[in-house]
Amino acid sequence: MKFLASTGTKGGVGKSTFAILLTYKLISKGKKVVLCDCDVECPNDHLLLNRKLSNKTKVYQPIPKLDKRKCRKCGICAEKCRSNAIFWIPGGYPKFIHDLCNSCGVCWHICPFGAIKVSKKEIGEVYSVKIDKNFWFISGKSKPNVEETTPIVNEAKRKAIDVAKKINADYIIFDTAAGIHCNVVHILRESDMIFAVTEPTPLGLHDLKISLELAKKLGKKALVIINKSGIGSEKRIQRIAKKYKTYIAGKIPYSKDVLDAYVKRDLKNVHELLKLKVGL
Ligand code: SF4
Ligand code: SF4
């Protein structure tokens, strides 16, 4: 089983479009695929797949809870919390600011009086949808205002691997969030093949360099995919790819067929328009 990742630092560059076209392309070759939407703050693959999210598992974050009977108001927990998630005034009980807490666990381990228990807070959901016998779809989704969404990404990934093992899948395709933050790094670090999606526009060029630089820092090579191919010169993309010792591994044409399929949420019928120069 191989882990593939569709990524890019710019929102709306076509990561999801590519991930879905690649999924359908592989399925058309008889492969079994699990597609996992890891953009948990703004998941949209289900919209493009024209599927309702179902079969929900709740995701919780461990958070500290004070046992006032045991607390001696020493303030050590507040002093050691690196996220400033504990507010303490000398002589008073500590107050936990759960929105800032990243569940590192330092406070409940360090309290000398065992006054901090572990509670939990619901932060999101993971959905698993069987599209057909060769295609499962997993999607994470965070609740509004949740700062720490990594546990949701991890749970979506865990679920995708679980399903992939059960159906003996050939590939898991991770569709990452935009950017280069922890949630993206977690996925790229474990991927066998990374596809950096870009478009022939000034913003696309700028963001491609960031994606390729991130992959390089992780000791990986990202292959370049051009979305909206045809709207501008691709020479500069070629030069950037060469600089990072990679190449343009695929193109999605800027065509009425792709746009129509996108609007109708029926990308299945245009997967052959995705031209790939990589063996999968
Ligand atoms: S470290 Fe423990 S005893 Fe000290 S203030 Fe925090 S909860 Fe209370
Ligand atoms: S779990 Fe970590 S981040 Fe959260 S309040 Fe305790 S020390 Fe701070």
- Ligand 2 center to 105 CA (angstroms): 6
Instruction: Give one word for 103, left, alpha or beta, with left for phi > 0 and alpha for psi -120 to 50.
Output: left
Of 85, 80, 86, the closest CA to residue 106 belongs to 80
User: Residue 224 has what pLDDT?
Assistant: 97
Which structural domains are found in the chain, ordered by start?
A: 2-59+124-276 (3.40.50.300), 60-122 (3.30.70.20)
Specify the ligand 1 atom closest to the Cα of 74: 4
CB 122 within 8 A of CB 59: yes
> What is d(CA 278, CA 270) in angstroms, rounded to the nearest whole number?
19
Provide the pairing of β-strand 86-87 with 222-229.
unpaired
Q: How many CB atoms lie within 10 A of CB 159?
A: 22
> What is d(CA 48, CA 195) in angstroms, rounded to the nearest whole number?
19
Which amino acid, 276? L
Which of 77, 81, 97, 110 for a ligand 1 pocket mutation test, highest count of atoms within 8 Å of Cβ? 77
CB 170 within 8 A of CB 202: no
Nearest CA owner, ligand 2 atom 8 = 81
Stated as kind and residue range, the H or E segment containing 120 is strand 116-132
Which amino acid, 268? K
Task: Name the DSSP letter for residue 60.
Answer: E
Which amino acid, 172? I
Ligand 2 pocket member 101 (CB < 6 A): yes
pLDDT digits 0-9 by tens, 7-52: 998 788 999 999 999 999 999 999 999 999 999 999 999 999 999 9
Nearest CA owner, ligand 1 atom 2 = 111
Q: What is the mean pLDDT of residues 201-220?
A: 94
Ligand 2 pocket member 107 (CB < 6 A): yes
The pair of structure tokens assigned to 158 is: 């865990």
**pTM, entire model:** 0.88
Band (pLDDT 50/70/90 cuts) for residue 80 is very high
Specify the ligand 2 atom closest to the Cα of 86: 5
CB 184 within 8 A of CB 197: no
Share of the chain above pLDDT 90, in %: 88
Ligand nearest to the CA of 111: 1
Of 270, 277, 276, 267, the closest CA to residue 16 belongs to 267
CA 192 distance to own-chain centroid: 15
- Ligand 2 center to 63 CA (angstroms): 7
CB 168 within 8 A of CB 34: no
User: Residue 182 has what pLDDT?
Assistant: 85
